[in-house]
Structure 1
Amino acid sequence: MINRAAAVLLKHRESYLLMTPYMIFFILFTILPVVLSVVMGFTYYNLIEPPRFVGWYNYIRLFLDDDIFITALKNTMLFAFVTGPISYGLSFLVAWIINDLSRTLRSIATVLFYIPTIIGVSVYPLWRLIFSPDAYGYLNGMLMKWGFLQEPVAWLLDKNHLLFILILVQLWMSMGISFLAFVAGLQTVDSSLYEAGVVDGIRNRFQELWYITLPSMIPQLVFGAVMQIVISFSVADVSIQLAGFPSTEYAGETMVTHIMDYGSIRYEMGYASSMAAFLFAIMVLTNRIVTKLLHKVGI
């Protein structure tokens, strides 16, 4: 067995040599931090004292002694199960619609729909102006002018409105990498398959989509699903920039902002690591479920 493995390595030594730089960085900056985070989750570590093993204490504390974590978990799951599917479906729908445009128009449309992802950080001041709590805010001004409001509403300070606004802004910024993957994937579908489909009885665009386009885009669809899951569960910037850190009554708290709170402010690295490990487990589990569902429906 060892000799066979050595023979394979020797046969493909050029390929492994080319992979070596990437694998070194992948192990150092991805695999190793994940492993360390899992290990640190079982310790108490404050960056000053040496790590002290505490067993499952941090994980028990998450659910029995941290009400804010429960709020953050609920908010994160709401973000994931609202923005994730909507963004995924919207990204594919827009990519499918613009696919039949000419090359120039398709490129322009791709840039226009991808711009919110690129400039998202730079337009947070504009969103704060739109939802400003005084009468000079665009939303308050319009609603008061039209008679829907008698006095300004502090949209970003009101826990009843805050989460909805954050989800709305996140949706606006959500057509990212998965959208580009779908645009590229649609270009790789063999046009002869559509001609053969017409001969086999396909009569409209939706049958064409279901029986030809989607099965031909398995790699891009799975990649888009994985990226959308990662983005949906990693929401933090939109909450910090619009709702503050921390937000009013922690109404905009997410798992990532809670990890940042304990990791970079309170320096309870062991506890922060346990939250990171738990979030990682949720993302992996969700990824497995979504991938199986995609394959189960024939995609």
Structure 2
Amino acid sequence: MERYLGTFERWLIVPVILTAIAFATYYLLKRHGWKQRQATGFALITPWLVGFIIFTAFPLIYSLYLSFTDYSLFGKPKWVGLKNYIWLFTKDVEFWPSVKITLLYAALTVPIGVIGSLLVALLLNKKVKGIGVFRTIYYLPAVLPEVAVALLWRWLFNSDSGLLNYFLSPILKLFGLGKPNWFGDPKFVLPAFVIMSVWGIFGTNTVVFLAGLQGVPKSLYEVADLDGASSYKKFKYITAPQISPIILLQIIMGMISSLQIFTVAMFVRPTTAAGKFMNQLIYERGFTQLHMGEASAVAWVLFVIILALTLLVFRSTPAWVYYEAEVKR
């Protein structure tokens, strides 16, 4: 009992210190002439700011530093300049296949996930009896544990006893084809991961799209009906522009998450002949081979890829994203 009380007391120090920092910040800002409302607001975000600096900003900057060093968790980092990056781009036999499979995976998963979940949301937006049951069913993938789902998919895709091959075998035999080895054959690894991921993201994406669809003013559809507009034209000129900011959000979030795939890949463990996803490569270099410098370099390359693609998508938004507030101005 005393041991647990000691642990509790140690953890209790953290909120006490953060509260003291917040009060000290408020007092100092007031002394320097800040208004009460401004000082209060800044003091309230101070605990978060401290946590951000300690747990996000510092590790981020330190990992950038490590990417220019030779560091193996034992001893001090040794500065090597651009050696890690030059090695990755010119000599590392795993790096470019890793970049390739990660980008291909994102290029397939994001559009299929966004378009598929939008179509499902359009169906679930209909006012029919029992639609709430279907909405609940489609949201289930979002609340299931990712590890448990990965293990379930590994069983479904099993080349010998998997349920998927059980149903596919009769069809494939008609064409003289054998059972696909989903995680053992490099040709099938990527399709298998796309299927798993699209199923997993349907839940959240569909709910977000459904919320956006229900926010579209009904008066716009009523006017379109009076003009005799078809369902396609109503979607093209009313629905799509109204939910375009949500589509942008889904593309950005889907792209970021798909480029950082890790948990499913680690538990499914497909053949490495198809290449490792970039987060897998980071984990292997950093925590298996203990080459933290190389791992940090791969992580920063991944960061630059995500940043570049995100900025590219944002640059395209004036052509297809509609903001009602901007039109009113």
Q: For residue 52 of structure 1, report the CA deviation from its aligned partner.
A: 1.6
Candidates 155, 170, 175, aligned match of 2:182: 155
Q: For residue 250 of structure 1, report the CA deviation from its aligned partner.
A: 3.5
Q: For residue 180 of structure 1, report the CA deviation from its aligned partner.
A: 2.9
Larger radius of gyration: 2
Distance in 2, matches of 1:9 and 1:224, equals 39
| Greater Cα shift, 7-16 or 74-83 | 7-16
Contact 1:178 1:223 in 2 (8 A): no
| Pair 14,284 (structure 1): closer, same or farther in 2 beyond 3 Å | same
| 2:143 alignment counterpart | 118
| 1:175 alignment counterpart | 202
The total of aligned residue pairs comes to 289
| Pair 68,202 (structure 1): closer, same or farther in 2 beyond 3 Å | farther
Q: Structure 2 matches for 1:203-282, cutoff 5 A?
A: 203-242=229-268, 244=269, 247-282=270-305
Distance in 1, matches of 2:133 and 2:47, equals 36
| Pair 8,284 (structure 1): closer, same or farther in 2 beyond 3 Å | farther
RMSD of aligned alpha carbons: 2.9
| Pair 57,81 (structure 1): closer, same or farther in 2 beyond 3 Å | same
Runs of 5+ unmatched residues, structure 2: 1-31, 323-329
Contact 1:239 1:252 in 2 (8 A): no
The alignment's TM-score, normalised by the length of structure 2, stands at: 0.76
| Greater Cα shift, 113-122 or 74-83 | 113-122
Per-residue deviation, residues 214-249 of structure 1 (Å, max 9, x unmatched): 33335433322221011110122232222x2xx424
Candidates 300, 312, 315, aligned match of 1:292: 315
Distance in 2, matches of 1:289 and 1:47, equals 36
Q: Structure 2 matches for 1:1-299, cutoff 5 A?
A: 11-101=37-127, 105-119=130-144, 120-134=146-160, 136-144=161-169, 147-148=173-174, 154-198=181-225, 201=227, 203-242=229-268, 244=269, 247-299=270-322
Identity of aligned residues (%): 30
What amino acid sits opposite 2:309 in the alignment? T
Contact 1:38 1:274 in 2 (8 A): yes
Tell me the secondary structure at the aligned position of residue 66 of structure 1: coil
The alignment's TM-score, normalised by the length of structure 1, stands at: 0.83
Distance in 2, matches of 1:222 and 1:8, equals 38
Contact 1:202 1:208 in 2 (8 A): no
Q: For residue 17 of structure 1, report the CA deviation from its aligned partner.
A: 3.8
Distance in 2, matches of 1:241 and 1:67, equals 23
| Greater Cα shift, 147-156 or 221-230 | 147-156
| Pair 268,208 (structure 1): closer, same or farther in 2 beyond 3 Å | same
Contact 1:98 1:106 in 2 (8 A): yes
Distance in 2, matches of 1:187 and 1:152, equals 44
Distance in 1, matches of 2:211 and 2:272, equals 43
Contact 1:177 1:227 in 2 (8 A): no
Contact 1:41 1:274 in 2 (8 A): yes
Distance in 1, matches of 2:190 and 2:133, equals 33
Contact 2:244 2:320 in 1 (8 A): no
Contact 1:71 1:250 in 2 (8 A): no
| Greater Cα shift, 9-18 or 107-116 | 9-18
What amino acid sits opposite 2:114 in the alignment? Y
What amino acid sits opposite 2:141 in the alignment? P
Contact 2:248 2:321 in 1 (8 A): no
Q: For residue 202 of structure 1, report the CA deviation from its aligned partner.
A: 6.8
